[in-house]
Structure 1
Amino acid sequence: MSTSIISTKLYVPSLRPNIVLRPRLVERLNEGLHRKLTLITASAGFGKTTLVSELLSACSTPAAWLSLDEKDKPPARFLTYVCAALQTVGANTDGILASLQASQPLPIESIVTVLLNEAAVIPHQFVLVLDDYHTIASKPVDDIIAFMLEHSPPQLHMIVASRENPQLPLGRLRARNQLTELRAGDLRFTYPEAEAFLSHTMGINLSTEEIAMLEVRTEGWIAGLQLAALSLQGHQDGAGFIRSFTGSHHLIVDYLVEEVLQRQPASIQHFLLRTSMLDRMCGALCDAVLRKDGGIEGDTADSGQERLEYLEHANLFIIPLDDERRWYRYHHLFADLLRNRLLRSLGEKGVAELHIRASEWYEGSGLEMEAFHHAAAAGDVERAARLAEGEGMPLLFRGEMVPVMNWLHALPKKELDARPSLWVMYASGMLMTGQTAEVERKLLAAEQALEGKHLDDKSRDLIGHIAAIRAAQAVSQHQAETIMSESRRALQYLHPNNLPVRTATTWAQGYAYQLQGDRIAAGRAYAEALSSSRRIGHALIAIMAALGVGSIQESDNQLHEAAESYRSVLKMAGNPPFPAASEAHLGLARIFYEWNDMDAAERHGQLSTQLAKQLENTDRVTAGEVFLARLQLTRGDVKGAAEMLAKADFFAGRQHFVHLQPQIAAVHVLVLLQQDNLPEASRLAIKYELPICEARVHLARGDTAKAAAILEASRQQADAKGLKDERLKTTVLLAAALYAHGQTFKAVNLLQDALTIAEPGGFIRIFIDEGSRMEKLLREAAAQDMKSDYRAKLLALCEAEGLESKGKSEPHPDQNDKALIEPLSERELEILRLIAQGFSNHEIGERLFLALSTVKGYNRNMFDKLQVKRRTEAVARARSLGLL
């Protein structure tokens, strides 16, 4: 499920008949379209929206329009509507919208980056209009707009209309001549414009002196002129009224609204007041708000649609939102004043009743978020809670995390205690947003609120939900026993129809089985959770279950199948992906490493680490760094690998990530072996009970018999436990150890077993990482006429890697030679192109999701290959070689 987009917020307001055209301002706006930003700021009633509409009708530039309101403050909601608006000018933002609808917090800067990239491929100039920008008054949104302006593609021009100066880098934009500004002094009606407005638009016959006086008294304020004209329609002495027309703007508005309202029929006054609490309205919604006991409130038989059309015709501060004249909104200032009068007239209880009617209409129309908004405004906690819980899928799981959590945060404790389900919802939201420290506190409050209550179906379901949240909390801490016990309790108490929570609990059980080494049971649980989550539309659990399935496939040596599972996660996670996708990138990194695609492995490893950094209290950053350290070691950067491992080990110790210590130690042993530090390597291998690492230490010492004995025992244990990946690892290394020990026949037979297991998955690195031992064994197998294309491929790769390793220390034979002996990799060429475009190392890292140290490492390698010392020299050398 997804949050419905209110399409009327995306309509360009149409121009009214007999509008006063303003060519002097349109010309200025037109001239500014080549800059980045046009800012139109003035208080209410200066015609900002109308002016922008006139500009768009006068030019051929396509426009994406977004009318903002205060509910658009959350960055995710704001970006959802920006994406929807940009779709009207041809942008492909479906992937971004999908990720924004996800339940987990989103990487805002990554989303904006992808959004700008999508805008950059639109083949024509276009305008993005943000109308009523002042209604959001949000620093996070200001930061988003500032980022967009800084990095906007040349075909994008932004127009911001606001009552207040936004907190944007206006000084910098002015200095760069990238800003066009219109202020209140620019927007005020001149005398000719005031004359045209009063006579042609409003139909008021005044003398030249009277028009001039009114124009001076209102200072060209268009809303003031309109309100004055409406009041003048009922005055016999127009000149006397104009002479008495004084005061500051807000007093003028108060006075004129009173005058206008009092001169309208009682039924119109009634309609205006009762519908003023609506942010936007259509005829059917107005009917629902005004309907009572089967009839329409007020002395009229007119429908809501007829009333709206009357108000538009009478210029009573109502703005059409679509071309069909179905949806409207009041001028914001007019609505504010009406709402104040409504509150004085009906009181809080009466206004709340109108909100409830609006909520009921929105719910019946399938707009549950708007229904929730009005229920919350009415203070109807019971109704708002029901709407937040959703029909089978809570709003929390449908991308409406921020408004629901804000509502829960604002509720007094007594309301939460009266409804334990709200404490549970609160805890669930805290868990989903990574605020893990608060989860248990909310769950304890829920349990305390449940004490003494009758144990009916709802109470039992809440007890089950509490247990499910605790199980999910234990997943992040890798506590198998706690996950299993809480999951069993959850499934015992949860209602059979509570499929979202039951599905999440099944997934958690799968993770516990996996931690316990029961991969078969884990695979069954993951498959069940994946099927159920897809059926009910629970995107987050579908992602987590697919990750589980992929990890089991990877453990069973099914690399191609696992890669497909991880890729399916990236598709479900959207573009840009939310942080849970970090695990999919790490899985793909491991697989591409095994397939000997080092560039792809590094790319996915870096993406995994970048996404994981957006999560709180996670071990995934450390896991990604351990993989990247292994990759550095394979590339011969022993020092860099050691530094990265030291950092990962320190962080894991500080965060008490005990389960990661063996993984870190396993790679550390490989580093120590490269450094010939056998005593320390042996100590780590024994301390963390790493038999394969122990065997490697013995092989380094030349004790092949001891190594073979350890590996044989480890292989038997892997067989007994059904650990297929461990069996393959020990078989490969055992074959190499036996060959080194002189047992050639047995070694060759074991190698054949390993090749048979590894070939379907396309394993490569597991063999060639064994270096010269494996190269000699593969040659021996070839000599014994074991014909195999797969074996021949591995032997060729081993030989090539051996030659490459020898050639790294050899000097370049001719530094003046135009050809490069060692070509640049695709990633190095990519970085070189960005250097040529003037990007700094930091900017390159942000674009390519690489750490700054990694970019610098690529630069060093690239400079060595090009025989240069500086960036400018590298670009010049590359151009001479035809690489750029």
Structure 2
Amino acid sequence: MSAVSERGGNRSRPPAADVDPLGDPFLRTRFAVPVRPATFMRRQRLTEHLGQALDTPLTMVDGCAGAGKTLLVADWAAHLEGPVAWLTVDACDQAPGVFWAYLLEALRASGADGIGDVGCPADAGAVDHGLLARLAAQLNDRDRPLVVVLDEYDRVTAPEITDQLGFVLHHAGRGMHLVLVTRTEPTLPLHRHRADGTLTEIRDAELAFTPEEAATLLELHGLRLGHDAVRALVERTRGWAAGLRLCALAARQSGDPETYLKEFEAGQSTIADFLLAEVLARQPAPTQDLLLRVSVLDRFCPDLANALTGRRDAGPLLAGLHRANAFVEHLGHSWYRLHPLFAEILKTHLGVRFPGLETDLHRRAAQWLRRFGPLPDTLAHGAAAGDWEFTARALVDDLALGQFFTGLRSGGLGELFARMPPDTTGAEADLVRAARELSGRDPDHARAHLEQARRELAPAGPGRAAARLGCALLDTLAARLTGAPDRAEHAARTARELGQDIPAGLLDRHPELPALLQTHLGAARLWAGRFDDARTALSAPATGSGGATALPRQDALGQLALIDYLTGWPTRAERECLAALTDAERFSLAEPAGLGLVHLVLAAVAVDRDELDDAQTLLDRATALQPVPPDPVTAAGRVLVQARLHLAHGQPGAALETVGSAVPAAVASPWAENHTALVVSAAHLAEGRPETAVKVLEDAVGREAACTVAAARAHLAAGDADTALDLLDHLPAEEHGGPAVTVRALLARAEAADRRGDRTTARRLATRALAEARRERLRRPFLEAGPWLRRLLRAGAWQEPARSGPDARLRTPPHTVRPAALVVEELSGRERDVLQRLARMMSTEEIAADLFVSVNTVKTHLKSVYRKLGVNRRGDAVHRARELHLL
């Protein structure tokens, strides 16, 4: 305490009446508790928190200018029972003697008992230690503690005053509750108070208005706004009290308050006057320049700020601004951002003071970020600078073209590059244009941009591997969308070769790139009917992890599910579909277009299981999610599922009309042709034309097991059991496919045996078919088999139904029935409601909307359902529920 003299050196003297040590009269307004305005809003949560001040010797209310600190404390103080000594600190209080003279006068003006004449500083620049000791002793002797509020304490910059205040606070004991209202954290030993639990703190974040509080405040100003409008205003102002009040006052003067609050320009408002005067003008010129320049940045670190200012000391300046609550927010790891309104105002001020500088600042920021910062920020500043060739090159060189198709940033990239002028040149600009067209499913327009990019990339040169790799990715996707497998293979080979020239670290940062390449290649191979090769390509993206590869993973799972369905494995296909849906929910990808194929496969499986209502619901959902235009695989899948649903409803004419629509593609797909023939043949059978059904399948026999089996059934319907059996006998076992094909083959053999009068063999084969079908829950093959099967089954002694409900006409032998697992606890009605919607493949959000409950309520019901059924996943829950006949 250098300013505190030794005992006997600088004696305090009795004060002259109403005069400070400088001889000036005391300004009584500085002792008055501020009056709250008529629109003041008491916030109970803050008042209750501030009430803890009476339990701790020190309270600090620390917030930015206009945060509502003073009014909060004034309202609290006005409702206290005992006296309150209030002092609003002034800039002239830097001299210790003046500060303590005012504080002592505030104590006397409060009317508190027990504060005797401890004296008054005689020297404006120093305080007698004895005076401070006497003050502390008198406070310590009080029966009731005295509340002392120092408002605008951030104006105190002399460290000796803070030391002296700490001395009095410590020795006053429980005789004083000190409340500091400040914009900056004082240099008192706060860490000790925090450790001892003797400090009450209310900081800037707590002072911010919540949306509910803001709505009440606006109502006090005569404004009633919708919930979304209030939330948007709070987001823009960060709940800043002064900003909300000034906005409310200005909006009251407009004809349309809600539109005004949504669209007002902060740089041209009364808020600008407040912040420029209260925050910017208080800073020295170099700091003002720093704030103006970083206003073009959404976030910044010291090195980036130095790059924009040409300085080297941005680090301590930014840290100081943050500590001073100067509307500079610390994001952690040395990154900062400006308060949104402050940034808007500074940017407007920048344009007035330095016209044209903003573009140069964006360019400098983009160049710095290209080397040291995140790509999204690089692109944003490159675009803001109008340097589109740089921006497109940054995206392509970073191997980020794939992000147009991953769902995480695709929308933002599309909007950003929609502003790119058509005269922007360069291979990278053409690749970006092609990516935008392909993300909109327009390969025809993308083709011209890809050709132009290829011409520009043709000359060999260093540093173009990334662009060539991006071109190969887009070529693969274009080939998939147009049904051109050979072009997809060529593009994929090119991509593999180029990958060797790309730094491994760069590839590791973009796992979506190989995932997209393999997924598109797999789809092209699937279209070509090369199922094993397609599985090879799809296996890696289907087993990937992470949000960046979520959409390729769901796409790959949907394609694998389609392959399994086409080869006769419906349950395996269903599991892959459920895995894709679970993944989508995990990453909050609300119904992405990639799930259209997933719902198509689930609809096809539902048709085979004769769950026709569910099949229609799934088909409708698939149609809603289907990209426009769809790729050939998805388009063909939808046609076939719709046609099979028509057949199941007894509408063969509609089925024939549906499959008559062509799927545009560069080459025909063998499986699409084969399955179209299956539908056409089945429709002719349903209309009583077996000879035509046989003719339709002539070319397909031997190409696919399902077609051979269907041809055998057509021959049976035509009365030619010998040819049917010959076809089935020459069907190699390894080509029979999965259970769905096996069941139909067994039923065809059983029908042939029945026609020959061999009922024993027929029953044995039908029994095997029922056992095989039960594992997959297949019903359509039996319903389509005809009356002979029902007669055969009724002639037996079997009693166990293959399906519960009124449609259960088919009977299975007892030894094929698996004992049902027990339910740990009976499901409630609401849990059954949730389970039924789960079986329809509805997402958690859809179930909540359908039942008019919250998502959290649905999740609670799901946990209970899982527990009661003894499972951990939604797919297992549906399977278990079906086993228990709960669905």
TM-score between both structures, scaled by the size of structure 1: 0.54
Distance 1:551 1:444, change over 3 A: same
1:581 shift after superposition = 0.7
Residue among 770, 776, 782 paired with 2:785: 770
Partner of 1:454: 460
Instruction: Give the aligned residue type for 1:526.
Output: L
CA distance in 1, matches of 2:804, 2:791: 13
State the AA in 1 paired with 2:532: I
1:864 counterpart residue number: none
Percent identity, please. Answer: 18
Residues 96-115 of structure 1: pairs in structure 2 closer than 5 A: none
- Number of matched residues? 587
Task: Show CA shifts across 1:368-412 (max 9, x none).
Answer: 422431233345557644653586655434622234334444445
Partner of 1:303: 317
Question: Matched residues in 2 for 1:738 and 1:567: separation?
Answer: 39
> C-alpha offsets along residues 638-669 of structure 1, whole Å, 9 cap, x if unaligned?
35x644x3663464368999655654553354
Give yes or no for contact 1:589–1:602 (8 Å, CA) kept in 2.
Answer: yes
Within-5 A mapping of 1:200-211? none
Match among 430, 433, 444 for residue 437 of structure 1: 444
Query: What's 2:383 paired with?
Result: 376
Q: For the Cα contact (< 8 Å) 1:731–1:751, is it kept in 2?
A: yes
Corresponding residue for 1:551?
Answer: 562
Name the counterpart of 1:404. 413
Indicate if the aligned counterparts of 2:678 and 2:710 stay in contact, CA closer than 8 A.
yes
Residue identity in the other structure for 2:443: T
Equivalent residue for 2:598, pick from 578, 584, 604: 584
- Cα deviation, residue 448, structure 1: 0.9
- Decide whether aligned partners of structure 1 residues 478 and 753 sit closer, same or farther in structure 2, where only a CA change above 3 A counts: farther
Counterpart among 457, 471, 484 of residue 476 in structure 2: 471
Provide the residue aligned with 1:521 in structure 2.
Answer: 533
Query: Partner residue of 1:564?
Result: 575
Q: Does 1:186 align with 2:257?
A: no
**Alpha-carbon distance in 2 for matches of 1:561, 1:631:** 21
Per mean C-alpha deviation after superposition, the further-off stretch among 503-512 and 718-727 is 718-727
Matched, 1:627 2:641: yes
Change (3 A) 1:794 1:526: farther
What is the identity, as a one-letter code, of the residue corresponding to 2:285? A
Query: What secondary structure does 2:478 align onto?
Result: helix
Larger Rg: 2
How far did residue 467 of structure 1 move? 3.7
CA shift, 1:580, in A, is: 0.8
What one-letter code is carried by the residue in structure 2 that aligns with 1:402?
A: G
In 2, are the aligned partners of 1:772 and 1:802 still within 8 Å (CA)? no
Q: Report the alpha carbon displacement of residue 303 of structure 1 after superposing the two structures with TM.
A: 1.2
Higher RCO (CA-CA < 8 Å; seq separation 6+): 1
Q: Which residue number in structure 2 is paired with residue 271 of structure 1?
A: 290
Partner of residue 621 from structure 2, selected from 596, 607, 611? 607
Q: 5 Å matches for 1:650-799? A: 651-652=661-662, 659=669, 660=672, 663-664=675-676, 666-676=678-688, 684-685=696-697, 692-713=709-730, 715-716=731-732, 719=734, 726=741, 728-744=743-759, 747-748=762-763, 750-751=765-766, 754=769, 758=773, 760-778=775-793, 793=800
3-state SS in 2 of match to 1:592: helix
State the Cα distance separating 1:281 from its structure 2 match.
5.8
Q: Following the alignment from structure 1 to structure 2, what is the Cα–Cα distance between the partners of residues 750 and 500?
A: 49
| Contact 1:705–1:741 under 8 Å retained in 2 | no
Which residue of 1 is the match for residue 21 of structure 2?
none
Once the two structures are TM-superposed, the CA of residue 449 in structure 1 deviates from its matched residue by 0.6
Amino acid at match of 2:621: L
Deviation at 1:443, TM superposition (A): 1.1
Structure 2 counterpart of 1:233: none
Counterpart contact for 2:308–2:361, Cα < 8 Å: no
Q: Contact (CA 8 Å) 1:273, 1:342: kept in 2 or not?
A: no
User: 1:680, CA displacement in angstroms?
Assistant: 6.2
What's the offset of the Cα at 1:534? Answer: 3.2
For structure 1, the residue ranges without an aligned partner over 5 or more in a row are 1-17, 28-48, 59-125, 132-145, 165-180, 189-219, 231-256, 784-790, 805-825, 832-842, 849-884
For residues 59-105 of structure 1, the C-alpha deviation after alignment (integer angstroms, 9 at most, x for no partner) is: xxxxxxxxxxxxxxxxxxxxxxxxxxxxxxxxxxxxxxxxxxxxxxx
Preserved CA contact (<8 Å) 1:478 1:515: yes
Distance (whole Å) between structure 2 residues aligned to residue 738 and residue 25 of structure 1: 92
Written as runs of structure 1 = structure 2, the 5 A alignment for 1:238-249 is none
Which amino acid is the alignment partner of residue 772 of structure 1? P
Alpha-carbon shift at residue 437 of structure 1 (Å): 2.2
Is 1:648 matched with 2:658?
yes
Instruction: Give the aligned residue type for 2:491.
Output: E
Residue segments in structure 2 that go unaligned for 5+ positions in a row: 1-32, 43-65, 76-209, 216-224, 237-246, 255-267, 702-706, 812-831, 838-845, 852-887
Structure 2: distance between partners of 1:326 and 1:486: 44
SS at match of 1:538: helix
1:414-433 C-alpha deviation (Å, 9 max, x unpaired):
7542xx34433443343233
1: CA distance, partners of 2:214 / 2:719: 72
Matched, 1:486 2:498: no
Whichever residue aligns with residue 606 of structure 2, its letter is F
1:586–1:608 Cα contact (<8 Å) kept:
yes
CA, structure 1 residues 224+550, in 2 after alignment: closer, same or farther (shift >3 Å)?
closer
SS at match of 1:534: coil
- Per-residue deviation, residues 288-345 of structure 1 (Å, max 9, x unmatched): 54354xx248xxx9612324666x66xxxx5869999964335366234323135427
Cα distance in 2 for residues equivalent to 1:479 and 1:751: 43
Question: What whole-Å deviation, never above 9, does each CA across 1:489-511 have from its counterpart, x for those lacking one?
Answer: 43334337556444433344444
CA distance in 1 between partners of 2:716 and 2:36 (Å): 88
- Partner amino acid, structure 2, of 1:522: A
Equivalent-residue separation in structure 2 for 1:356 and 1:342 (angstroms)? 24
Q: Determine whether 1:638 maps to 2:640.
A: no
For residue 601 of structure 1, give the secondary structure of its aligned residue in structure 2.
Answer: helix
> Following superposition of structure 1 onto structure 2, how do residues 277-296 of structure 1 map, counting pairs within 5 Å?
277-279=296-298, 286-287=305-306, 289-292=308-311, 295-296=312-313
Instruction: Using the TM superposition, give the Cα deviation of residue 527 of structure 1 relative to its aligned residue in structure 2, in angstroms.
Output: 1.8
- C-alpha deviation, 1:800, in angstroms: 4.8
Structure ranking higher in helix proportion: 1
Q: SS in structure 1 opposite 2:460?
A: coil
RMSD (CA atoms): 5.6
Give the letter aligned to residue 399 of structure 1.
L
Does the 8 Å CA contact 1:612/1:618 hold for their aligned counterparts?
Answer: no
CA distance in 1, matches of 2:235, 2:803: 70
Aligned-pair CA distance for 1:447: 0.8
Contact preservation (8 Å) 2:482, 2:631: no
Q: d(CA) in 2 for partners of 1:227 and 1:327?
A: 16
CA distance in 2, matches of 1:325, 1:367: 13
Contact 2:392–2:432 (8 Å) recurs in 1: no
Q: In 2, Cα distance between the equivalents of 1:19 and 1:557?
A: 81
Give the counterpart letter for 1:454 in structure 2: A
Aligned to 1:870: none
